[in-house]
Structure 1
Amino acid sequence: MKIIRAELKDLPVLSPLFDAYRVFYEQPSDEKGAAVFLKERLEREESIVFIGYEKEKAAGFVQLYPTFTSVGMQRAYILNDLFVHPDCRQEGIGKALMHTAFQFCEGEGAKFVTLQTARDNITAQTLYEKVGMQRDTKFYSYLKSLT
């Protein structure tokens, strides 16, 4: 297994994975839109993406968005997206991508990494707990849809 930090040249292998991730979350397939979205994030340095390869095949990715903690007065990261292609699951790719993301964030001096997942995504919850993440029992998440 090999993990690299994504660059613009990696869009042809990253975009289909990102599109499949969105389809998993019941969005219509839009590989061109996925490529445009990812290109903007990478060009503007608004996200950090790592791609996991298994036998030269792009098998999964993790995407981080930088933010800050005002209380902690430090950088923090939102682990917004984690996806492993269904053909490549149960091979440790998700776990390796998570560890790579944590190492990157630690190297950037981040206070924490946070994420949200669906209540019924037990598979993901199991992975997150295996890699040392803890379910937040102190705070509620709120969302106001604007579109």
Structure 2
Amino acid sequence: MPTIRAATPKDIDSLVVLIDGYRQFYRQPSDLEGARHFLARRFERDDAHLLIALDESDAAIGFVQLFPVPSTTSLGTRWILNDLFVSPQARRQGIGSALLQAARARAVDHDVPQLMLRTQTDNVTAQSCYQALGWQRDEAFYTYLLSV
């Protein structure tokens, strides 16, 4: 099983490759410097919870990133699990599930009552993983996007 811990600025070099791989999975062009800048901003602003998965040789093999957002309806905060990625060579070993469980534990530790995520409708592999861990698909709301 991997080691999963909170990422620190010292992990940026390892995370850049994973962030870039995540972006390419979603059909974005490679941009290592853009990924580095994005990560540096997250650490500077302290506006995300970033967990990193490491293999037995301490190589970064996955990450999950959570963003706190206020919830007017609950008068509290929920976290959006915005990003989850496992490097291709480390897939099908339970690392994604371990990252999801670590994200849940972190939310519990911070008294966050709800995690929320979105995934592409054709990402059946991820959906089955989420459902196996107790995530429930929201049938009540649609997501709309507006490019500005």
Deviation at residue 111 of structure 1 after TM alignment: 2.2
Pair 1:133-2:135 in alignment: yes
> Contact (CA 8 Å) 1:48, 1:63: kept in 2 or not?
yes
**Correspondence for 2:23:** 22
**Correspondence for 1:83:** 85
Q: Deviations over 1:23-68 (max 9, x none)?
A: 1100000111101101101110111110001122211000000102
> Contact (CA 8 Å) 1:72, 1:111: kept in 2 or not?
no
For structure 1, the residue ranges without an aligned partner over 5 or more in a row are none
CA distance in 2, matches of 1:43, 1:99: 26
- Identity across the alignment (%): 42
TM-score by length of structure 2 reads 0.96
> Contact (CA 8 Å) 1:75, 1:109: kept in 2 or not?
no
CA distance in 2, matches of 1:40, 1:25: 21
Aligned-pair RMSD on alpha carbons? 0.8
Runs of 4+ in 1 over 4 A off after TM superposition: none
Deviation at residue 113 of structure 1 after TM alignment: 0.4
For structure 2, the residue ranges without an aligned partner over 5 or more in a row are none
CA distance in 2, matches of 1:73, 1:141: 21
**Correspondence for 2:53:** 52
Match of 2:72 among 70, 73, 98: 70
Pair 1:108-2:110 in alignment: yes
CA distance in 2, matches of 1:68, 1:109: 13
TM-score by length of structure 1 reads 0.96
Q: Deviations over 1:82-140 (max 9, x none)?
A: 00000000111100100111111121111210010000000110111111100001111
**Correspondence for 2:125:** 123
Q: Deviations over 1:58-79 (max 9, x none)?
A: 1100000010211111110000
Aligned length: 146
